[in-house]
Structure 1
Amino acid sequence: MTDLPLARNPLRRSLLTGTGAAIAFGTLGPVRSAFAQGAPARSLPAYAAFKDAGSMIVHSANTIETRRGAAGNGALTTVNQLYVRNNLTPPSADIVAKPDDWVVQIEGVRRPKSLTVRELKAMRTERVAMVLQCSGNGRGMFPSKPSGTPWQVGAAGCVMWTGVPVRDLVHATGGVLPGMLFMTGTGGEVLPVGVDAKSRVERSVPAAAMEDAVLAWEINGQPIPLAHGGPLRLVVPGFTGVNSVKYVKKLAFTTVESDSSIQQTDYRMTPSAEAAIRPTDPSVWQMPPKSWINTPLAGVAKLGARGLLIQGVAFAGVNAVKQVDVSMDGGATWQRAALAGPDLGRFAWRQFELPVQLPAGQYVLASRVTDVRGNVQVENRVENKAGYLNSSWRDHAVAITVA
């Protein structure tokens, strides 16, 4: 996989800066869904008990998916409908009882220091809207059935983070030391006794990602709950969720990538035929262009007085969305959809919609996004051993019958 170019963050403006942002989260959240289907297979774990159970699929205590269509097509995903993915058991809930006391170390800079969340809050803050998506979102669509959670589209959401820009922290600590090629975040999970230290959650991304990264303490205007990495999370816009390290206790600039297992032998685009994941395989970093339809869902669709309204969401990693096209015949022909709702910046998803008149019959609906750099959502998934980065518009298509 070729990484897309990193670029500057266009959200540095008063609309999305500071605690008094003009956007009201309550007005941007998704409409309560009429599409949640069935009941959750398992009970929500205690640390995620606040979730809307009818909107979620509980795969395990550490993997909870949003049902397709349950969150609607809102510009922002409400926290109680946002998916959960933890690589290790979360720390004790005690750490979010006094969030301002949490300490993060800043290393690999000219003046290393430790800062509490309280001290971070005294600095200039910034808000950034971004798609948070698990690297394995869409894994359940791979015919090869890779090991891991069989996510469909629900290991993703669009949320607003509030925190300190990492570039400001770097400036305040004298700048990055020469030769530091990576930004490395270390999570605060407690490893069980006897477990190798390389099992820690620690991820490295190219150091240039610091230009857009944020140390965040709020999600959608509220303190980050334990389920989503509170009291402090490293947020790396445009990159898959694993790179936005939860419970971050150390942010370091390093000459080499972390030696943790989650960096070296996990989250790599290893060809399916390979026996083992290799550290030389491309790391799962930036997200490629991707979209899917949330309305209608697969099954029988009844036309309203004005026909059928096709709706969905689209995003393109570090790049802004330029356009979305929709097909009703499985990709044989395409029509331009309209971008709807607010534009929250290049890291956020865009809502799209297309009203159509369809006679009774069977249809295969698909969507395809193009970003401002001309990158187009792929037709077919990139086959890989672990089922990462499935952005295939064909896999995400829905078959409907118009009555």
Structure 2
Amino acid sequence: MYPRDPFFKNKPYLTTRSLQPDNQETPIHFLENGETPTGLTYRRNHFPFPTLSTKSYYLTITGSVKTPITIQYNQITTMPSRTVTAVVECSGNKRAHFRPKVFGEQWKDGAISQGTWKGVPLFHLLQIAGVQDSVHEVVFEGNDSGIKKGQHVPFVRSLPLKKAMEHDVIVAWEHNHKQISPKHGFPFRLIVPGWYGMASVKWLKTIRVVDHPFSGPFQTDDYVYYPHKNNNEEAVPVTVSHVNSIIQQPLDRQILQLGQHEIKGLAWTGEGVVISVEVSVDDGETWKTATLHGQPRQFQWIKWSYSIVFEKNREYSIKVRAYDSNGHLQPDTAFWNQKGYGYNAVSQIKIKVE
């Protein structure tokens, strides 16, 4: 009778990287559904959670606009809405895999989740305010703030105007069909599908339209690719998510029994869609095409699988790589950079068969 008791039911939990601030990974190896449950959605924070309420909450749009506006929470939630299911991936996802190693939160494979977001398209709000012809960027400020390099700063990021006006960029108030949770951006979160998660500003309070390039600690210092170890030359900003994949099962260094097994996982990309996934069980000597499950959809990951009969008393080096519709392929070696962003080298594990 005891195994049927709900108390004994096995279930995954977030993997904690730090508590102050709260940084926790999604147990991505054990997810089956296309929508990551809110309680298992990864959390990436630079500062403590803000405490907010919808009773007196409003969003301001200011700067180079014809009509600066202040919109109450209840007003925004009655505006024309759009629902977007999208991967949100931290740009530091898989940082722990870089060689040579880099400093920063040592994320493994779980700084990524997929959810359904509902909100008002950003372009609709900007149209109401009336964007001036001289506008260069749109700046987004969250309610989270804290000490960075000795100064008290808020989390602020910007988008080029062209990106900000895309219809899938939304100011969301719902996540997975419920009000956004306080740990994931309540009451409002900017959602920028296809870009790494730093662009999807949480606890959004101010939108400022500017006629010049924005500069700030989370825009021109953090979230920048610095390709050289000892200088900041040839630096470029972190933007679109790279084509990537993960092997969910088997797990790395797992011991399997003789017989047929299914290698399975997820693949995703920031622009276009994943069109193919290949699997190698001989350390990249030969590659076989995996089966994609479902129709590839923009901004969403796709499940893949490959069945194989493993031989007894052997070790296997399994590799996986994904291709997208824009001609991007996971590289053998990730683009190394000082802060460890955008890791997307060929996914690989080793297993042993008894």
State the TM-score, normalizing by the size of structure 2. 0.89
2:345 is matched with which residue? 392
Amino acid at match of 2:15: M
Change over 3 Å in CA distance of 1:402–1:256 after alignment to 2 = farther
Q: Return 5+ residue gaps in structure 1 as ranges.
A: 1-31, 37-53
- Contact residue 14 and residue 24 of structure 2 kept, 8 A: no
CA–CA distance in structure 1, aligned partners of residues 257 and 43 of structure 2: 35
Cα shift at 1:304: 7.9
2:303 is matched with which residue? 351
- Pair 1:362 & 2:315 matched: yes
1:145 is matched with which residue? 101
Amino acid at match of 2:274: V
2:4 is matched with which residue? none
Once the two structures are superposed, the pairs formed by residues 2-401 of structure 1 within 5 Å of their partners are 54-61=13-20, 62-70=22-30, 72-92=31-51, 95=52, 98-99=53-54, 101-107=56-62, 108-174=64-130, 176-191=131-146, 196=151, 199-210=153-164, 211=166, 212-275=168-231, 277=232, 281-302=235-256, 307-341=260-294, 343=296, 345-360=297-312, 361-393=314-346, 396-401=347-352
CA–CA distance in structure 2, aligned partners of residues 274 and 200 of structure 1: 28
Cα shift at 1:116: 1.8
- Post-superposition Cα deviations, 1:339-366, rounded to whole Å, max 9, x if no partner, equal 11465x3011111111122212111122
Amino acid at match of 2:331: V
Q: Which stretches of structure 1, 4 residues or longer, exceed 3 Å deviation after superposition? A: 190-197
Cα shift at 1:100: 5.9
Change over 3 Å in CA distance of 1:304–1:115 after alignment to 2 = farther
CA–CA distance in structure 2, aligned partners of residues 309 and 193 of structure 1: 46
SS of equivalent residue, structure 2 residue 34: coil
Relative to structure 2, which stretch is displaced further, 76-85 or 252-261?
A: 252-261
1:5 is matched with which residue? none
- Contact residue 103 and residue 114 of structure 1 kept, 8 A: yes
CA–CA distance in structure 2, aligned partners of residues 145 and 190 of structure 1: 28
Cα shift at 1:112: 2.2
Q: How many residues align?
A: 341
SS of equivalent residue, structure 1 residue 249: strand
Amino acid at match of 1:398: I
Q: Percent identity, aligned pairs only?
A: 27
State the TM-score, normalizing by the size of structure 1. 0.79
Cα shift at 1:383: 0.8
Q: Return 5+ residue gaps in structure 2 as ranges.
A: 1-8
- Contact residue 258 and residue 353 of structure 2 kept, 8 A: no
- Post-superposition Cα deviations, 1:194-241, rounded to whole Å, max 9, x if no partner, equal 9635x3211112222220210001111111112111111011111111
Cα shift at 1:332: 1.8
Amino acid at match of 2:26: T
Change over 3 Å in CA distance of 1:103–1:321 after alignment to 2 = same
Cα shift at 1:134: 0.9
CA–CA distance in structure 2, aligned partners of residues 313 and 101 of structure 1: 41
Relative to structure 2, which stretch is displaced further, 98-107 or 316-325?
A: 98-107
- Post-superposition Cα deviations, 1:236-270, rounded to whole Å, max 9, x if no partner, equal 11111111101111122323333321112111101
Query: Alpha carbon RMSD of aligned pairs, Å?
Result: 2.3
SS of equivalent residue, structure 1 residue 187: strand
- Contact residue 59 and residue 65 of structure 1 kept, 8 A: no
CA–CA distance in structure 2, aligned partners of residues 99 and 156 of structure 1: 27
SS of equivalent residue, structure 1 residue 57: strand
CA–CA distance in structure 1, aligned partners of residues 265 and 93 of structure 2: 16
1:40 is matched with which residue? none
Greater strand share, structure number: 2
